[in-house]
Amino acid sequence: MDSKATIVSVIWLAVAVISAMYLYVGGLYWGTDIAVGLLVLIAFMLTFVVGFGLEYFQAKMDNERPQTKTMVEMSNQLADLKTSITDLTKKVDAIQKELQE
């Protein structure tokens, strides 16, 4: 937990320094205000990403990923479908030949 707090505090310190220098050099204009606002927005987003962690999103993705058993079943069903399709195409070809004769 200490590393996350350190990362968040370093992010905010960097944003404060960059914003201060940007405002000092650029002055108070719309362009500098927007740039500083975007920096603060990025800092907020990074704070929540680091604070809540990417582990939450990784766990969510792992829960949504199909299990290996399901993958094997799906590949078996796909193979069965392919054989059924080849059988049907053979039957259709046979029927077409009969109709042409």
Mean pLDDT value of segment 1-22 = 85
End-to-end CA distance of the chain: 80
Q: What angle do CA 44, 45, 50 make, to 5 degrees?
A: 100
pLDDT recorded at residue 25: 86
pLDDT digits (tens, 9 = 90+) for 24-40: 887 888 888 898 899 99
65's tokens: 């990923």
Which value, in Å, is the radius of gyration of the alpha carbons in the chain?
Answer: 30
Q: What are phi and psi of 51, to 5 degrees?
A: -65, -50
pLDDT of residue 27: 81
Label residue 1 by pLDDT band (50, 70, 90).
low
Higher pLDDT pick, 69 / 43 = 43
- Whole-number pLDDT of residue 65: 67
Q: Residue ranges of the alpha helices (H) in 27-67?
A: 30-52, 54-64
